[in-house]
Amino acid sequence: MSAVEKEVVAKVVETVTLKDGRSVDFAGKRKMLKETIIEDGRVGIRLDFRNGETRTFWVPAELLLKFAGHGAEQKYGDETAGVEDIDDMVLAVDDLDGRIQNLEWTIKREGGSMAGTSVLLRALIEFSGRSQEQVKEFLKSKTQAEKLALRNSAKVKPIVERLEAEKLSKGTKIDTDALLATM
């Protein structure tokens, strides 16, 4: 299936009338929808299935903290999805935690917004002489395009290139200098 065909399939929406009388929309190939329910001091989930079935499960009070911990693990783990660089992963979870502490649960980050940010952060600290927190605050509102432009600016790019080369040389287990010396 081509990328265009996949996009068309993803945009197809089927409205299903559930056995409890509600109507819900299933997009693309989605077979199940999940929803958190908070009612009368209880927490539960409702699962709606494309075949019209629906299930509601209530979290036992004795397991509420375990469920909360699992949800937190999932939320913080999801924030690093698709992020390859470990330093960028650390920045991504730090950024998420800042939003969580401000009670901002559903704010979405731009896809790949942390990719390469750790090197940019270090380069801007070196370039500006500002603290890590000051530079993090500066970068927080920047789009991925703006971060890329900063990385490629004439003043910052040489620092970025040096830091990336240092990072790359630390990651390799092969002594390239010794290898080149044998040539």
Q: Could you tell me if 110 and 143 are in contact, meaning their C-beta atoms sit under 8 angstroms apart?
A: yes
Classify each residue of 172-182 as buried b or exposed e, where b means 16 or more C-beta atoms within 10 Å of its C-beta: eeeeeeeeeee
- Give residue 112's pLDDT: 47
Q: Domain count of the chain?
A: 1
- Does residue 147 form part of some domain? no
Per-residue tens of pLDDT for the chain, all 183 residues:
566 555 555 579 999 999 999 999 999 999 999 999 999 999 999 999 999 999 999 999 999 999 999 999 999 998 888 888 888 899 889 888 988 998 988 765 554 455 567 888 888 988 999 988 888 889 888 888 888 899 889 998 898 888 888 777 766 667 777 778 888
- Does residue 41 form part of some domain? yes
Burial of 119 (0-12, 13-18, 19+ CB in 10 A): buried
Name, in order, each residue with C-beta under 8 angstroms of 96's C-beta and a sequence gap of 6 or more: 75, 76, 79, 109
Provide the residue range defining the domain that includes 39. 1-58
- Does residue 173 form part of some domain? no
- Does residue 53 form part of some domain? yes
Name, in order, each residue with C-beta under 8 angstroms of 147's C-beta and a sequence gap of 6 or more: 113, 116, 117, 120, 139
Tokens matching residue 12: 């197809």
- Does residue 42 form part of some domain? yes
Q: What is the pTM of this model?
A: 0.56
- Give residue 171's pLDDT: 64
- Does residue 1 form part of some domain? yes
- Does residue 31 form part of some domain? yes
- Does residue 159 form part of some domain? no
- Give residue 3's pLDDT: 60
Q: Could you tell me if 24 and 16 are in contact, meaning their C-beta atoms sit under 8 angstroms apart?
A: yes
